[in-house]
């Protein structure tokens, strides 16, 4: 296999070769050998002329491609463009808009938007294991800035102060580890504490701000920082999550500009994926990608 791309130019050249796309995806999806995605059988034959495989198990629809049973299935867009778009999304710190993707790889903006959302779906994390140790919990509101709106639009969109007319998002961060995000209906006690109990092991240390909704977390070691007084008191702070919120909002306001509330959870998945893999570069990132796809191969 040729050296894997580290720049956009290299990615475009590398993925322009069908053999590279095939080797790249097979190594991640089927590290122990190509198996039929419909029956799991290893007895498959590669049809090089058609760039697909044939399962010898003898069932309906025995032929399959690299796209079968993935987010790329039924898409007429080639793997060269799919993989280049994926490379752009996971390597862009503040995200990359569909307009940028469409200009870079030569497809329509509508197709680029479709690719972006399919890729965000693939980046979405499952529930995973419960977090433990030192945990930061915080909430924020996502929505348009009143000062950037025309006065007529502002009168319709902004009907109150604070978080009114915005979408509430909760974040849970293991210090030095991963972040979990969730769009929540509100920031009342039942919603926020329910998320904490679902995602964090009892007995863990939880750091929050002074929001009253966090009162009553008796099964955790709960420490509070009052932002009206200070932002840090020893190890009691939520600065890790504040950092994540700044990255998220920089992407939403600066790159994507306008995000509908019903699509917001996909953008959260995208930013959380990049944040959780922030320490991986070069070969380490490639190896992590291989390991992740090996673990998920059975679910693809």
> What percentage of the chain has pLDDT greater than the value 70?
85
pLDDT in tens, 104-162: 899 999 999 999 999 999 998 676 789 999 999 999 999 766 555 566 665 665 555 55
pLDDT in tens, 18-68: 999 999 999 999 999 999 999 999 999 999 999 999 999 988 899 999 999
pLDDT in tens, 66-88: 999 999 999 999 999 999 999 99
pTM: 0.82
Please give, one letter per residue, the 3-state secondary structure of 70-121. CCCCCCCCCHHHHHHHHHHHHHCCCCCCHHHHHHHHCCCHHHHHHHHHHHHH
- Nearest to 28, CA basis, from 295, 258, 219: 295
Rounded mean pLDDT, 178-193: 94
Q: What CA–CA distance (Å, rounded) separates 122 from 69?
A: 12
pLDDT in tens, 255-297: 998 888 899 999 999 999 999 988 876 533 444 444 444 444 4
Contact indicator for 85, 101 with CB cutoff of 8 Å: yes
Q: How many helices (H) and strands (E) does the chain have?
A: 10, 8
Domains and CATH numbers, the chain: 8-125+279-299 (no CATH), 134-276 (3.30.420)
Phi/psi-derived region of residue 126, left when phi > 0, alpha when psi is between -120 and 50, beta in every other case: beta
Mean pLDDT is lowest, of 11-15, 203-207, 248-252, 258-262, for 258-262
Q: What CA–CA distance (Å, rounded) separates 299 from 126?
A: 11
Q: How far is CA 104 from CA 50, 86, 123, in A?
A: 28, 12, 21
Q: How far is CA 221 from the centre of its chain?
A: 29
Contacts of 140 (CB under 8 A, 6+ apart): 168, 169, 171, 245, 249
| Cα Rg of the chain, angstroms | 22
Per-residue DSSP letter, 146: G
Dihedral angle sign, alpha carbons of residues 181, 187, 191, 196? positive
Token pair recorded at residue 114: 């479709």
Contact indicator for 231, 237 with CB cutoff of 8 Å: yes
């Amino acid at each position: 296999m040729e050296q894997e791309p580290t720049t956009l130019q290299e990615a475009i050249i590398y993925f322009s070769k069908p053999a590279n796309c095939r080797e790249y995806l097979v190594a991640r999806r089927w590290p122990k050998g190509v198996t039929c995605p419909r029956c799991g059988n290893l007895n498959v034959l590669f049809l090089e002329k058609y760039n697909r495989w044939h399962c010898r198990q003898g069932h309906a629809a025995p032929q399959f491609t690299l796209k079968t049973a993935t987010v790329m299935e039924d898409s007429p867009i080639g793997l060269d463009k799919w993989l280049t778009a994926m490379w752009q999304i996971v390597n862009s710190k503040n995200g990359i808009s569909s307009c940028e993707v469409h200009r870079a790889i030569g497809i329509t903006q509508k197709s680029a938007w479709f690719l972006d959302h399919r890729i965000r779906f693939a980046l979405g994390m499952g529930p995973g294991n419960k977090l433990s140790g030192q945990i930061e919990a915080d909430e924020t509101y996502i929505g348009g800035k009143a000062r950037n709106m025309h006065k007529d639009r502002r009168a319709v969109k902004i009907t109150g102060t604070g978080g009114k007319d915005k979408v509430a998002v909760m974040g849970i961060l293991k210090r030095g580890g991963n972040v979990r995000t969730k769009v929540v209906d509100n920031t009342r006690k039942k919603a926020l504490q329910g998320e904490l109990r679902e995602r964090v092991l009892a007995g863990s240390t939880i750091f929050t701000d002074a929001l009253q909704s966090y009162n009553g977390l008796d099964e955790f070691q709960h420490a509070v920082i009052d932002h009206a007084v200070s932002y840090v008191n020893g190890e009691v702070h939520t600065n890790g999550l504040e950092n994540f919120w700044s990255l998220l909002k920089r992407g939403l306001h600066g790159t994507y500009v306008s995000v509908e509330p019903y699509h917001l959870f996909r953008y959260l998945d995208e930013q959380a994926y990049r944040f959780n893999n922030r320490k991986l570069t070069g070969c380490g990132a490639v190896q992590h990608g291989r390991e992740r796809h090996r673990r998920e191969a059975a679910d693809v």
